[in-house]
């Protein structure tokens, strides 16, 4: 088990290529596997979560070359070409893999069992399972948690489903199941969530997919192999944006970052806090908006984070909390109860970690209050959560003394080169086995 020690750093400067988008990487493998023909993917994230998805499809008979230096070739087997794996599919720590594959496998003719590590086996799955069962799927859980047993069915039925809680993973699982359902499957969201699945469906299905009105899918959709380039991950970029904002005299350029409008609320939040972030060279690549981000140091101040930004910045809140701790005044976060059911209880983990570093932080059922101030030396627990570990590594760069983050191995799930890449930008991180 490794740990990271983060100490006060100099200014951040230079040009940094952030890791590829994890959410889009997962979906490129899934759609490439069930499409007709070959899908060529460039800049695929080679983190443990995405590799778990790759491994699962190999076990189900899909030929995948790579990924090697981000390049992968997926020989699609078509919508009905997947085969029973013959063993349980171990998805490691990847909740995205678990939820999306549950939707996809719910419509197959063969049985499957999905499992994962201890952390993933604690995560709730009924929000996915309940609508799938409404479609006629046969899915069994262990008290609503993995492992999941998914039994083959002849066909599913299309449904019109109102999401009780905004969730891109649940939406995507239902849409994937809809590709195997009789009739149209429609998902109504309480608020817009990341739309990578819809964008990818549009690319793979072309004119055979109509995305007017509420999001929908049906078995008439025909998927064809594509050539895709995965943009940089805005969630990974957020660690650099916060570190450079807080560290004096910083000036950092992050080229090729995805700015999907359902993902970039972190930019809006940081700008409201006074961050100096410039967007340039906006373009569209593989149906996703991309840009270059330049961030320079700025004096941040506390805000009440607008409710409309919460769903589309949910993965960035651990490092947003660090930005709040380094800002002046109080930052209030509410309406973020979804943070309780991530890889860890991120509300509790963030508040506990900040308190251990001398920051005034108060926990609420759906959020937290953070009073900005200086950090002191201390040791914090990541609770096996990659985003908690990386957020507190950023905290160390502006603290007095050093911050030790325990259980840092989990960072490899989404950001394999976190330590060397952050150090190349000017941070001072040491990984200790």
**3-class secondary-structure state, position 50:** helix
The residues pairing with 277 across neighbouring beta strands, listed in sequence order, are: 295
What Cα–Cα distance (Å) separates residue 25 from each residue in 28, 46, 103, 145, 286? Answer: 5, 9, 17, 25, 12
pLDDT digits (tens, 9 = 90+) for 289-315: 999 999 999 999 999 999 999 988 999
- What are the residues whose beta carbons fall under 8 Å from the beta carbon of 384, sequence distance 6 or more? 93, 118, 119, 343, 344, 407, 410
Active site residues: 315
Element (H, E) at 266: helix 265-272
**Angle, CA of 260, 263 and 269, to the nearest 5°:** 120
pLDDT digits (tens, 9 = 90+) for 318-343: 999 999 999 999 999 999 998 998 88
Cis peptide before 336 (omega within 30 of 0): no
- Domain 22-229 is found in CATH 3.65.10.10: yes
Q: For residues 32 and 37, give the distance between their C-alpha atoms in angstroms, rounded to a whole number.
A: 8
pLDDT at residue 77 above 90? yes
What is the pLDDT confidence band of residue 223, given thresholds at 50, 70 and 90? very high
pLDDT digits (tens, 9 = 90+) for 344-402: 999 999 999 999 999 999 999 999 999 998 888 999 999 989 999 999 999 998 877 89
Put simply, whether the predicted model's pTM sits higher than 0.85 gets the answer yes
Q: Which two tokens stand for residue 345?
A: 């209880």
What is the pLDDT confidence band of residue 221, given thresholds at 50, 70 and 90? confident
Superfamily (CATH H level) for 3-20+231-432: Enolpyruvate transferase domain (3.65.10.10)
Cite the residue boundaries of each domain of the chain with CATH code 3.65.10.10: 3-20+231-432, 22-229
Q: What percent of the chain has pLDDT over 90?
A: 85
């Amino acid at each position: 088990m490794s740990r990271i020690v983060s100490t006060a750093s100099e200014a951040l400067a230079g040009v940094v290529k952030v890791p590829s988008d994890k959410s889009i990487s997962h979906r490129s493998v899934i759609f490439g596997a069930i499409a007709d023909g070959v899908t060529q993917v460039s800049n695929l994230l080679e983190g443990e979560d995405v590799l778990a998805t790759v491994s699962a499809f190999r076990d189900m008979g899909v030929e995948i070359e790579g990924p090697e230096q981000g390049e992968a070739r997926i020989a699609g087997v078509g919508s009905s070409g997947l085969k029973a794996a013959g063993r349980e599919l171990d998805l490691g720590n990847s909740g995205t893999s678990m939820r999306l594959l549950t939707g996809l496998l719910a419509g197959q003719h063969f049985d499957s069992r999905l499992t994962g590590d201890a952390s993933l086996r604690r995560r709730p799955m009924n929000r996915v399972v309940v609508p799938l069962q409404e479609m006629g799927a046969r899915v069994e859980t262990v008290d609503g948690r993995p492992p999941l047993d998914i039994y083959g069915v002849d066909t599913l039925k299309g449904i019109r489903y109102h999401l009780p809680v905004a969730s891109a993973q649940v939406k995507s699982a239902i849409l994937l199941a809809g590709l195997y359902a009789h009739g149209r499957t429609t998902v109504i969201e309480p608020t817009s969530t990341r739309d990578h699945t819809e964008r990818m469906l549009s690319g793979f299905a072309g004119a055979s997919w109509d995305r007017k009105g509420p999001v929908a899918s049906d078995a008439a959709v025909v998927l064809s192999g594509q050539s895709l380039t995965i943009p940089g991950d805005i969630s990974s970029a957020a660690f650099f944006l916060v570190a450079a904002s807080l560290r004096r005299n910083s000036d950092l350029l992050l080229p090729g970052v995805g700015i999907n409008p359902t993902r970039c609320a972190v930019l809006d939040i940081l700008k409201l806090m006074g961050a100096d972030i410039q967007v340039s060279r906006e373009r569209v690549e593989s149906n996703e908006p991309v840009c270059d981000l330049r961030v320079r140091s700025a004096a941040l101040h506390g805000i009440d984070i607008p409710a409309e930004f919460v769903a589309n910045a949910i993965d960035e809140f651990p490092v947003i909390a660090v930005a709040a701790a380094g800002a002046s005044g109080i930052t209030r976060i509410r309406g973020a109860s979804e943070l309780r059911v991530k890889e860890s209880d991120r509300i509790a983990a963030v508040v506990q970690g900040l308190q251990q570093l001398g920051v005034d932080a108060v926990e609420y059922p759906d959020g937290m209050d953070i009073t900005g101030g200086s950090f002191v030396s201390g040791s914090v627990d990541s609770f096996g959560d990659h985003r908690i570990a990386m957020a507190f590594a950023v905290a160390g760069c502006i603290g007095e003394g050093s911050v030790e983050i325990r259980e840092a191995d989990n960072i490899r799930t989404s950001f394999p080169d976190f330590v060397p890449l952050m150090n190349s930008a000017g941070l001072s991180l040491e990984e200790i086995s």
